[in-house]
Structure 1
Amino acid sequence: MLNEQNRPEPDDLRLAKNVNYGSRRQRHRQALWFVRAKRDRMANSFPEWETLRETAGAIKAHTMSRLADLLEQFEANATKLGATVHWASTTAEHNAIVLGILQTHNVKRVVKSKSMLTEECHLNPFLERHGMEVVDTDLGEWIVQLRNEPPSHIVLPAIHIKREEVGELFHKVIGTPEGLAEPKPLVEAARGELRNKFMRAEAGITGINFAIAETGGFVVCTNEGNADLGTSLPPVHIACMGIEKLIPKAEHLGVFLRLLARSATGQPITTYSSHFHGPKSGGELHIVLLDNGRSDILGSSDFR
């Protein structure tokens, strides 16, 4: 776990070490080219690829031109569904809002699915400084969390780590047999450990891949199902979203779902596309919308 006494090395030092680590550099290159080749094969086998990309770009351009109105529409519709919508201008405001929700419910144990926005906000160490156990439940994110490291890639957070190193880590932290290096038993060990965390969790935090203004609902895409477990078991769900994740209508969602996994990992679609429309029965849903300079970028001609 990240904490003040055991902070990760600065990025420049970590970069220097890895650049000079020949086998790791080669492995990193091979893994990235493997994923890129899958992506290119998928794109080349998909006749509508460029049309979909152009359509997605047009939808996003339209969204950005009406962003303020669409955000208000999303807030109104999400509220009608029973969610509570919060607005944060900065990462500090975002983290304070999340902390306030958790403290209101006396939460001490949190499970979290993959969210680049919470990485942007450094949410994990912030909550840990306030006495909370925060467990990343995406496998790659959990591995780097156990190593006290930030993710090294936006899609493949543990791409720099060998399976033998994962085996050594699991032996040290969760007591798996020494020398274990095969993926299947490592994944089974992780599943058992994380299931216990899910069962004990008092709140779940997710990101948001797509939020839909006309419905007030949103979609979270995963390959491991951890977002579903992390939101169906605890009574409190906090969904954290950058304001750029909005799309106007439900009919636009299919365009982005067909592009997302194909572009990221070369899959036709993520294994799970979980749709949320208000809180579960007896639970609470909080949606935190973060600006953090996005409006300034939107107003700059350099980024339009």
Structure 2
Amino acid sequence: MSGTYLGMPSFPRAAADSTRDMRLRGNLRHATHTIRAKRAQAVEELGDWAELREAGAALKERTLRHLDHYLEQLEAAVTAAGGVVHWAADADDANRIVTELVRETGESEVVKVKSMATQEIGLNEALAKAGISAYETDLAELIVQLGDDLPSHILVPAIHRNRDQIRDIFRKQMGSWGRAAPEGLSDDPAELAEAARLHLREKFLSAKVGISGANFMVAETGTLVVVESEGNGRMCLTLPETLISVVGIEKLVPTWQDLEVFLQTLPRSSTAERMNPYTSTWTGTTDDDGPSAFHLVLLDNGRTDALADTVGRQALRCIRCSACLNVCPVYERAGGHAYGSPYPGPIGAILTPQLRGVQSDLDASLPYASSLCGACYEVCPVAIDIPEVLVHLRERVVEGGTAVVRGQKTKIKPAKGHAAERALMRAARWAFDHPRAMRAGQRLAARGRRFTPRRLPVTAAGKAWSASRDLPRPAPQSFRDWWRHTRRDGGGSDAPRTGKESAE
């Protein structure tokens, strides 16, 4: 992924800093609560939402099972329509291809419509090294770029900024990137939007090269689809002479009819709208209409490896709606930057470690950036069982094992710092396999419950656990013993039969 994110601290360290920023937490709380309340209302309008969700999951799963077939079909359709398809195995490949394509045009500036894939590969930084300036045109992405910042949300990348911060960024930075902000610019949303519109209009009218992502690619026709709310996408996709689209290979749908499902679920889950204000579709090139040259860069960058994992591959269903971020209690308090990835929140916690591996401290910590409450699964419009994948990845971090890396089965070593956790889990496994020993341990713990410490012993693992929670006091009686007493006494009471202990 992008070099911008390399060297960032592990999630617990980054989150420890961000959770102390009261302004950030206030911004996040207000924004996420507002978005999720509107989303819930929009979803309730559809009586068949559960069926749409199930259909979306099934469509994505079928496509992933036959991804090789649909990719070949897509390539043939795009080529027949006048486009050129490029295959990028990783970020370096993709950056090299795009840089060479821009250089061939002789241009030194490009305009971009928001693309998570280009953030993932660090395209802006790669273009800058080649002397090419990339201008973001999505309003939130513009704010992030002008502020020399990083995105912190999938749908609203500048969610961590409030209006007065945005006003200050526009006043100080717009002039160095193009048209300056108007004199006396206030923090009124209408004035901020107008300043951005005037600044960007200059870029749209002069740019000869546009770079985009895509929400969907239709295999049967070679059509790409972008949905957005501001109209900047329409400008980037139609005005430049050359259009380069960088898209992850998982964004495929087999047929036009399949779009029917996602064009209902995506807007309601993301912006709480019944439909997106702008839905742009394009197929190759046509004479005297739109770009005269179209290049599609199909990005792997770890997706094939994730596809080989029958549990983890669920993450590739994601349609980037961001609903999981808006309901996640961890994201709400820690913010997106703590995840050290263009993909923050619950989906990032399962997608990033599969794309990048779990070798670094940051990536090994991401599967733990969750309370496993399951709210993310409940709102996901394609039914990704994020808690299941989180637990699956935690096992990989702690135990190691076999995984596919760059197309090859590879033995993954356990991550450092989890020896105590491994020992504890193995002890628990042994106890569950030996019921008598388990019962004896439960009774011993119940008898000594009043002496249970609130904190674990001062070890690395104990300190990490106790930093955010108290050690739970054992129950006065195990369920097995309670059931035995209840059956023996006739089953009339559901209270433990231990007198003094049960009164504590």
TM-score (norm 1): 0.94
Deviation at 1:243, TM superposition (A): 0.5
The answer for the alignment partner of 1:260 in structure 2 is: 266
Q: Deviations over 1:123-160 (max 9, x none)?
A: 11110111111100000000000011111101110111
Contact 1:109 1:200 in 2 (8 A): no
Query: Aligned AA for 1:71?
Result: L
SS at match of 1:301: coil
* Partners of 1:288 and 1:73 in 2: CA distance: 15
CA RMSD of aligned residues (A): 1.8
Which residues of 2 match residues 188-207 of structure 1 at below 5 A? Answer: 188-207=194-213
Matched with 2:117 is: 117
1:154-169 equivalences under 5 Å are 154-169=154-169
Cα distance 1:58–1:253, how it changes in 2: closer, same or farther (>3 A)?
same
Quote the residue 1:284 is aligned against: 293
Tell me the equivalent position of 2:251.
245
Q: Which residue of 2 aligns with 1:99?
A: 99
CA distance in 1, matches of 2:219, 2:145: 34
Q: CA deviation at 1:11?
A: 4.7
Residue aligning to 1:56: 56
Secondary structure at the aligned position of 1:228 is classed as helix
Determine whether 1:270 maps to 2:276: yes
CA distance in 1, matches of 2:6, 2:165: 19
The one of the two structures with greater contact order (alpha-carbon pairs below 8 A, sep at least 6) is 1
Q: Residue 129 of structure 1 corresponds to which residue in structure 2?
A: 129
Partners of 1:168 and 1:178 within 8 A in 2: no
Match of 2:223 in 1: 217
C-alpha distance in structure 1 between counterparts of 2:172 and 2:103, whole Å? 32
SS at match of 1:241: strand
- Give, in angstroms, the shift of residue 65 of structure 1: 1.1
CA displacement 1:170-218 (0-9 Å, x = unmatched): 1112243346110001110110010001111120001011101111111
- Look at both structures and tell me which one has the larger radius of gyration over its CA atoms: 2
* 8 A contact 2:109–2:133 mirrored in 1: yes
SS in 2 for 1:292: coil
SS of 2:236's partner is helix
Work out the CA distance in 1 between the residues paired with 2:8 and 2:30. Answer: 22
Shift in CA distance, 280/206, structure 1 to aligned 2, threshold 3 Å: farther
Shift of 1:281: 2.7
Quick one: distance in 2 between partners of 1:10 and 1:44?
43
> What secondary structure does 1:237 align onto?
strand
| Alignment CA distance shift 1:111-1:287 (3 Å) | same
Picking from 201, 217, 230, the partner of 2:236 is: 230
Paired with 1:197 and 1:260, the residues of 2 have a C-alpha distance of 29
Could you tell me how far apart the structure 2 residues matched to 1:263 and 1:71 are? 27
The alpha-carbon deviation at position 21 of structure 1 amounts to 1.5
Unmatched 5+ residue regions in structure 1?
A: none
**In the alignment, is the contact (CA less than 8 A) between 2:181 and 2:195 conserved in 1?**
no
> In structure 2, what residue type is equivalent to 1:147?
G
Measure, in 2, the Cα distance between the counterparts of 1:99 and 1:179.
36
Task: Report the AA paired with residue 192 of structure 2.
Answer: L
| One-letter amino acid of the counterpart of residue 285, structure 1 | F
AA of the residue aligned to 2:65: S
CA contact (8 A) 2:185 2:192 kept: no
Cα distance in 1 for partners of 2:238, 2:159 equals 29
Deviations 1:242-263 (A, max 9, x none): 0000000111111111111111
Amino acid at match of 1:256: F
Q: Matched residues in 1 for 2:31 and 2:129: separation?
A: 35
The residue number in structure 2 matching 1:81 is 81
Identical aligned pairs, as a percentage? 39
In 2, the alpha carbon distance for the partners of 1:147 and 1:11 equals 19
SS in 2 for 1:268: coil
Distance 1:264 1:14, change over 3 A: same
How many Å separate the matches in 2 of 1:168 and 1:14? 25
Q: Aligned to 2:155, what secondary structure does the other structure show?
A: coil
Contact 1:89–1:290 (CA<8 Å) still a contact in 2?
yes
What is the alpha-carbon distance in structure 2 between the residues aligned to residue 161 and residue 190 of structure 1? 16
Residue 148 of structure 2 aligns with an amino acid whose one-letter code is N
**Gap change, CA 1:53 and 1:196, over 3 Å in 2:** same
| 8 Å contact from structure 1 (residues 170, 176) kept in 2 | no
Contact 2:181 2:199 in 1 (8 A): no
**For the Cα contact (< 8 Å) 1:232–1:280, is it kept in 2?**
no
Q: Where does the alignment leave 5 or more consecutive residues of structure 2 unmatched?
A: 174-179, 314-504
Give the direction of change, closer, same or farther, for the CA distance of 1:8–1:241 in structure 2 (3 Å limit). closer
Hey, what does 2:416 align to over in structure 1? none
Shift of 1:16: 4.9
| Preserved contact between residue 56 and residue 255 of structure 1 (Cα < 8 Å) | yes
Letter in 2 for 1:295: T
- Give, as a single letter, the amino acid of the residue that structure 1 aligns with 2:237: T
Matched residue SS, 2:221? coil
CA distance in 1, matches of 2:247, 2:24: 33
| Deviation of the 1:236 alpha carbon | 0.3
CA contact (8 A) 1:8 1:149 kept: no
